Chains A and B, each alone.
Chain A
Amino acid sequence: MIEISNLHKSFQGAPVLQGVNLTIADSERIVIIGGSGCGKSVLLRHIAGLLKPEMGSLKIDGQDITPLKERQLNPIRKKIGVLFQGSALFDSLDVFHNVAFSLLEERTLDDTEIRQRVSEVLEVVGMTGQEKKKPAELSGGMRKRIGLARAIIHRPKIMLYDEPTTGLDPQIADSINRLILKMSKNFSVTSIVVTHDMVSAYMVGDRIAMLSRGKILVSGTPDEIQGCPNPVVQCFIKGISDERDLGVLSASGLKRADLHAISS
């Protein structure tokens, strides 16, 4: 279980997180949505132990990770897998060494077992036979898959996905969403997905939480979020920049595309 309470973080005096409270149950799939720059990725980095908050606590399986030093965080990090927005594959290493990285560093398995584990995870992400390629030879979608393979090879209990579908075409984005679901169902991992892609949010989330002005504004099932009367939530999920348009849509029963057609 992950328990976040009263988490605060600012950068150069500008507050980003202003008292985030959120509890995530084991095996839950939660999607955190919110506008660009609202602090979604910052929150995710706190959960991964990559950033330290100025105030508040963040407990993973009952242990507060906020006072821990860099090396003390390593046992916690072994429970967590992170898929970075840009995949963050190591440029100098080929796919095999990228995926096997944590196992090669741990040195608890022999070469044969490591090769077997790499083959297994590459099969899970649909990238069998790509071991010798360098990251520069891969497309965006392939890089995401390899990033995912690297994150899951040490069998984490918690998976963090930072904008997993950003910059991908709809079909590839769908395949990544399906992989997130597959990971969750097959390995019972707790999944935390940060995104502003609502198609992805509805598809992968058991629960959706919206971050706004440094706090969790609302949290609920995809249906509850869609029916939420809060105009900020409705504007975001419907992709409307002007709140006045929301009233027009509600009164007329039109869709957003109709509104654009009328205004043009």
Chain B
Amino acid sequence: MSGFFETIGRGVVGLVDYLGHVTQVATESFQSLFTQRWRWRENVYQVYNIGVTSLPVVLLTGAFIGMVFAAQTYFQFHKVQMDTSTGPAVSIALSRELGPIITSLMVAGRVGAAMAAEIGTMRVTEQVDALRSLAVHPVDYLVAPRLIAMVISLPLLTAMSIATGIICAYVVSVEVLGIDGAYFLYNMRKYTEAEDIYTGLIKVFIFAFIIVFISCHKGLQCEGGAEGVGKATTEAVVNSSISILITNFFATMLLSKIIPP
């Protein structure tokens, strides 16, 4: 029995220790943003790296999520003669939940893994120590530009993903499933409100911080050569994804109080 409690205790201590380290990276990042100079060249490169290069995969995901969600919604609504409600159902779901979550998970998988791997490799090859020996704080050089880029890129990627999803849902609904296009658009505009868009984008803003802090922390703490880099990369993606899903629930509940649906 004591072994059981010991295991639980170790897990809790480990979790608190981990959260403490991530918080430390977050604190140092904010300190860097407000007290150190911004590296504009590095920021622009990271916006390209995180935002522009993620665009194809994010648009493709948004398109297919929009199309399949439109088809499934139509199949159910058609049974009760509510075909034209497919438009608002798709647009609200994409704006509030599917767009932000799917885009954030895709970016966590693609960019979060790259961040952890790149910084982790720098750590195990002493490049992070070299930065420190040259009087440059690793957070200033490695984390702050990625944070700025992610906060700019992720909301834009999400907005584009949602727009693509809605366009593709319209094409499938009208051209394949035979819904009247005018009613699809009319109902969509009638029932989709600005709050639906804000809610999604506010959540994405939070997810951007989560992805950067967790992935960069994993990279900066990486130890043990190639195996360590692989482990850090996997953990960065898993931890970011789980944190996004958990935070999404609480953010949704909180935002529903502030901005009622």
Contact = CB atoms under 8 A, between A and B. Distances in A.
Interface stretch (A77-85, A231-239, A252-260): A77-85
Interface in A53-95: 70-71, 73-75, 77-78, 80-82, 84-86, 88-91
Contact of A88 (B125, B135, B136, B137): B125
A45 B130 CA distance: 11
A58 B59 CA distance: 56
A77 B125 CA distance: 20
B134 interface: yes
Contacts of A49: 132
A77 B137 contact: no
Contacts of B133: 48, 50, 77, 80-82, 84, 151
B225 to A, nearest CB: 12
B132 A77 contact: yes
A105 interface: yes
Contacts of A10: none
Given A48-B133, A77-B134, A85 B126 contact: yes
Interface residues of B, number: 13
B27 to A, nearest CB: 12
A202 interface: no
Contacts of B121: 91
Interface in B107-142: 121-122, 125-127, 129-130, 132-137
Given A50-B132, A70-B132, A77-B132, A90 B127 contact: yes
B75 to A, nearest CB: 50
Given A84-B126, A91-B125, A102-B135, 11 more contacts: A50-B133, A73-B135, A77-B134, A82-B129, A82-B133, A84-B130, A88-B125, A89-B130, A90-B130, A102-B136, A154-B134
Interface of B: 121-122, 125-127, 129-130, 132-137
25 contacts: A50-B133, A70-B132, A70-B137, A73-B135, A74-B137, A77-B134, A77-B135, A78-B135, A84-B130, A85-B126, A86-B125, A88-B126, A88-B129, A88-B130, A89-B130, A90-B122, A90-B130, A101-B134, A102-B134, A102-B135, A102-B136, A105-B135, A105-B136, A150-B134, A151-B133
